Chain A
C-alpha cells in the first residue's frame, strides 16, 4: 500500500497550512526582498521557541481531553518561584538544575489539574480556567511577583547561541539561541512517545472514544493524569526558557498566550472535539501565526493591521478545521437515530 499518495496528502489540513505559509512567504519576499534572508529566518526561529513549547501543552490537552488554558500561568509561577529561590540562595551552579526545580513545580501544578479532571470529570476548559486563576493568585498574591532580575546562570543561558548570522546587505545580525535545542528535544521525545508507545496511542484513543478506550484495556485515568502532568513540566520549561531569553523575570507577560497558541494548533489541524491532530500540524500552525506576527512588518503593514490579519487567519483557519470535524459529528448522530 502506497502511504504517500498525492490524494492522501492533499486531504490533510497540514498541507493547506503549508501552502499558505509558502504563499505568504513568497508574497513577503516579493514585496520586501527581506523574507528569505538569513537574519529573518533566524529571527523567526527564535520567535518560534516558546510558542512551540506551549503548543505541545495545548496539543496534548486537546487531543486527549479538551482545552487547557492554564499552561501560561504554570509557566509563570514555576519559573518565578524557581528564580526567586535561586536568587535567595545565591545559586551559582549550572542552569539545568534550575530547569529541574521548575519542572518539579510544573509537575505539581499539572498533577493538580490532572487530579481534578480525573476525579471529577469536569470539562477541561472550566477546570483549567479555575486553576489558572488559582496559580495567578499564588503568583501575584502570595509571592507578590514583579519584574525581577535573573540569576546569572539563566542570563548566560539566555544569551548563548548556537549560530550567529549577519545579513550582508542590511548589516542586521541575528543569533539562533541554544534554547532551540530544548525545543527540538521536546518535540522528538513527544513524537516518539505519541507514535511508538502504547501509552502514546492511548492519548489519541481516549480522545477518540473514551468508552472504547476503557473497553480496550487502556488505563484512561492514568493516561489523562499523565498528560496533564507532562503539560505542567513542558509549561515550566517554556516559562524558564522565556525568562532566560527575555533576560528578566516578567510575570505579567505570560497570560494571554493561551489563546493564540490554541488558535495556532487548531489552524494546524488539531480537532476541537479531540482525537485528531499531528505534531507537524502543530508546528506548522504555530509557524504561521508567528510568521504573521513577525514578518508582516516587512510588508510595511502597521502593527494594528497585523492584529487584524492575525485575527482573520485565525477565524478562517479554525472555521475550516471545525467544519471538517462537524461533518463527522453529524454523521455519528444520524447513526444514533437508527440505533435507538
Chain B
C-alpha cells in the first residue's frame, strides 16, 4: 500500500489577475488519511476543485491511481473514484433522506422515471456502508448537522469511491459527533478508502491524520508525516509567525471583585453563583444546552433573571436592558457574529463605531465623520484587522477579522467587564492567537473578562479558572494545575 493514489504536481490556477495556486504539489498515498491545511485564502479549496474537475487548471499534472489526466471533468473525476464532500454537503434540505441518497446515482444512470423501490434500495445500501441509522423518509432539513454530513458521506461511498475529499468536515459538529465521524473515517481507511481532509484544527490533525500538507498563499510550505509535526511548527508553517509560549498564570495581578453573581436563575440556568475580579479571565464551559449562553445573555441585559442577584462594584443592580448593561460597563461579544454581531453589508468602519454614535454626533444629531474615521482606523491598527479599506462591507473580511471587528466595536465602549461567547469559533489560527493575546493584555490592564467557550485548548490557554456548567448549573470549578484538557473532558461527562 505504498503507492500514490493521487499525485498532482505544479498545479497553477489563476482567476483574472489573482494567482490562487502558484505551482502546488500534493501526493497522497493509497489508504492514508491526509490532511490539507492552511489559512483562509491559501488555496486549499481551489486545489480541491481542481482535483475534482470543477475547475480546469492552467498548468500542471494530475495523476489518479497511476493514470494521467491532462484535463479532468467532474464526471471523469467521479469515474476515477474521487468524491468530494463540500462544507455545505450538497444536499437538498427540502427533500427526504431517501431522495438525497438516491438521486445522484439515478441521474447519472440517465433514468427518467422515479421508481420508489429502486430509490429505497439504493438508499439502504448507502447507509449500510457506514452503519448509519436514520429515518429515510424524514425531510433532511429536520435533521441535525452531523446526520446531514453522514448522508453526504454515505452518498459519496455509493460510487465506489477510492479517494474521499472532505472540506472542513468538523466545523458544525459537537465533540461527540466528531468522535463518531473519526470512527467512520478509520473504518473507511480499513476498507481501503483514502481520505483527504481539509482542516485547520490542530487537535484533529494530530488525532487522525497520517500525513499533512500545508499551503500558504497558493504555495506549498511543507508536506510530512504527522509524526514529524508539532504544535509550534504547525502554527509557524500556517501563518509564518512565531507564537510566544502562552503563560496565563503570569497574570496573577487580579484585584478587587468587580462583579458578584449570587444564586442567579433565569430561563435556561439556575442557582449560579460566582465572583469575578478585575484582571481575571474566567472561563465558562459546558455542552450545548448547559445554560452557558443564557447566562451570558442575562449578564448583558438580554434575558431577564427570575431570581437571584447581581452586584457590580458592591452595589446590587438590575441588568434589565442592553443599555443598562452598557452603562454599567459590561460588553458582550455574541456567539453568532453573522446574525447577532455584524451588519454584513455595512462598512467595516460603521460596524466598528456603531455603538458609540451618540459620542460621535453633534447636538443636532449629525455624525462627525472625522471622529468616526479616526476611531475606526485606531482599532484596525490596534487589533490588526486585515483590510485595505475600511469602507468595504464587513462581509469581505475573513471570519477571524470579522470577529476582531465585533470585539473592537465593544472595546470602543471602554467596558470594564467583557463577556465573549465563543470568541474564536470559525476563526483561523492566526486570528485566534491574536484575539487571545489581546484578551490577555486587556486583563493585565485591569479588565474583567468572561470567556464562554467549549474549546478546551482555548479555555486552558487563556483562563485563570473555569466554571463547568451542565443542565443549567455549575457543576465544577477548575483552576491552576487542575485545569487540563483531560479534566475538562471528564467534567463534561
Contacts of B112 in A (CB 8 A): 197-199
Instruction: Give complex CA distance A271, B93 in Å.
Output: 13
Per-position binary interface string of chain B over residues 145-174, scored 1 when its CB falls under 8 Å from any chain A CB and 0 otherwise: 100000000000000000000001001100
- At the interface, yes or no: B252 with Cβ under 8 Å from chain A? no
Whether A209 lies near B135 (C-beta < 8 A) is: no
Q: Is A287 an interface residue (CB 8 A)?
A: no
Is B106 at the interface (CB under 8 A from chain A)?
A: yes
Given contacts A197-B112, A338-B425, A340-B399, contact A208 B94 (CB under 8 A): yes
A209 touching B113 in the complex, CB below 8 Å, given contacts A217-B104, A334-B339, A337-B336: no
Chain A binding surface, main DSSP class: helix
Residues of A within 8 A of B93 (CB): 208-209, 275, 328, 332
Let me know if A200 is at the binding interface, CB within 8 A.
Answer: yes
Please report the C-alpha to C-alpha distance between residue A146 and residue B300 in the assembled complex, in whole angstroms: 66
Chain B residue with the shortest CB-CB distance to A340 = B399
- CB contact list, A145-202 vs B, under 8 A: 195-201
Question: Contact at B114–A196, with CB atoms within 8 Å?
Answer: yes
B337 proximal to A (CB < 8 A): yes
- Residues of chain B contacted by A207 (CB below 8 angstroms): 94
* Docked complex: A64-108 residues within 8 A CB-CB of B: none
Q: Report if A333-B94 is in contact (Cβ < 8 Å); known contacts: A338-B172, A340-B399, A340-B402.
A: no
Q: Is A242 an interface residue (CB 8 A)?
A: no
Task: Give the distance to chain A from B206, nearest Cβ to Cβ, in Å.
Answer: 21
CB distance from A105 to the nearest CB of B (A): 29
Contact of A339 (CB < 8 Å), options: B87, B104, B398: B87
CB neighbours of B107 from chain A (8 A): 198, 216-218
Count residues on chain B whose CB falls below 8 Å from chain A CBs: 36
Residue A21, interface by CB 8 Å: no
Query: B136 interface residue, CB < 8 Å from A?
Result: yes
Query: B399 near A201 (CB under 8 angstroms)?
Result: no
CB of B426 within 8 Å of the partner chain: yes
Interface string of B109-122 (1 = CB under 8 A from A): 00111100000000
Given the interface contacts A3-B137, A198-B112, does A340 sit within 8 Å of B426 by beta carbon? yes
* A197 in contact with B113 (CB, 8 Å): yes
Is there an interface contact between A330 and B339, defined as CB atoms closer than 8 Å?
yes
CB distance from B423 to the nearest CB of A (A): 12
Q: Report if A205-B95 is in contact (Cβ < 8 Å); known contacts: A216-B90, A328-B141, A340-B426.
A: yes
A259 part of interface (Cβ distance < 8 Å): no
Report whether A335 and B145 are in contact in the complex, using a CB–CB cutoff of 8 Å: yes
> Which residue of chain B lies nearest to A332 when distances are taken between CB atoms in the complex?
B93
| Contact across chains for B92 and A208 when beta carbons are under 8 A apart | yes
B338 at interface (Cβ–Cβ under 8 A)? yes
Nearest opposing residue in chain A for B106, CB measure: A198
B322 contacts the other chain (Cβ, under 8 Å)? no
Determine the distance from Cα of A332 to Cα of B339 in the docked complex, in whole angstroms.
Answer: 11
Interface residues of A in 271-287 (CB under 8 A from B): 271, 274-276
- The chain A residue with its CB closest to the CB of B115 is A196
Q: Is the CB of A339 within 8 A of B113?
A: no
Q: From the candidates B91, B114, B336, name the one contacting A334 in the complex (CB within 8 A).
A: B336
CA distance in complex: A216, B171 (Å): 23
B99 touches A201 (CB 8 A): yes
- Among A3, A196, A328, A336, the one with the most B-chain Cβ atoms within 10 Å of its Cβ is A336
Determine whether B108 belongs to the interface, using a CB cutoff of 8 Å to chain A: yes
Return B228 CB to nearest CB of chain A, in Å: 29
Give Cα A48–Cα B93 distance, bound, in whole angstroms. 32
A215 in contact with B114 given A333-B338, A338-B171, A338-B425 (CB within 8 Å): no
Nearest Cβ on chain A to B169's Cβ, whole angstroms = 10
B491 at the A interface (CB under 8 A): no
Distance (Å) between the CB of A226 and the closest chain B CB?
Answer: 13
A211 within 8 A of B: yes
Residue of A nearest to B338 (CB): A337
Q: Which residues of B contact A276 (CB under 8 A)?
A: 94
Neighbouring A residues of B94 by C-beta, 8 Å = 204, 207-209, 271, 274-276
- Across the interface, name the chain B residue whose C-beta is closest to A63: B94
Q: Is the CB of A204 within 8 A of B104?
A: no
What's the Cα separation between A333 and B92 when bound, in Å? Answer: 16
**A211: B residues at CB distance < 8 A:** 88, 90
A6 → B minimal CB distance (Å) = 15
List chain B residues, Cβ under 8 A from A328: 93, 141
* Chain A residues numbered 220-260 whose CB sits less than 8 Å from any CB in chain B: none
Residue B103 lies at the interface, judged by CB distance under 8 Å to chain A: yes
Q: Which residues of B contact A212 (CB under 8 A)?
A: 88, 90-92
Q: A196-B113, A200-B114, A205-B103 are in contact. Are A339 and B108 (CB under 8 A)?
A: no
User: How far is the CB of A137 from the nearest CB of chain B, in Å?
Assistant: 35
Does A308 lie at the interface of the complex (its beta carbon under 8 Å from any beta carbon of B)? no
Whether B339 contacts A209 by the Cβ 8 Å rule is no
User: A282-340: which have CB < 8 Å to B?
Assistant: 328, 330, 332-340
Minimum CB distance partner of B75 in chain A: A217
- The answer to whether B114 touches A197 (Cβ under 8 A) is yes
Chain B interface residues (CB < 8 Å from chain A)? 74, 87-88, 90-95, 99, 103-104, 106-108, 111-114, 135-137, 141, 145, 168, 171-172, 336-339, 398-399, 402, 425-426
A–B Cβ pairs within 8 angstroms, 24 of them:
A1-B136, A197-B113, A197-B114, A208-B93, A208-B94, A208-B95, A209-B91, A209-B92, A211-B88, A211-B90, A215-B74, A216-B90, A216-B103, A275-B93, A275-B94, A330-B339, A332-B93, A333-B336, A334-B339, A337-B399, A337-B426, A338-B172, A340-B398, A340-B426
Other A-B pairs beyond A196-B114, A208-B92, A209-B91, 18, CB < 8 Å = A1-B137, A196-B113, A201-B95, A201-B114, A205-B95, A208-B93, A208-B95, A211-B88, A212-B90, A215-B90, A216-B104, A275-B92, A330-B339, A333-B336, A337-B339, A337-B425, A338-B172, A339-B171
| 9 closest Cβ pairs, A-B complex | A275-B94, A340-B399, A208-B94, A217-B107, A208-B92, A212-B90, A339-B171, A337-B338, A338-B171
Give the interface of A toward B (CB within 8 A). 1, 3, 195-201, 204-205, 207-209, 211-213, 215-218, 271, 274-276, 328, 330, 332-340
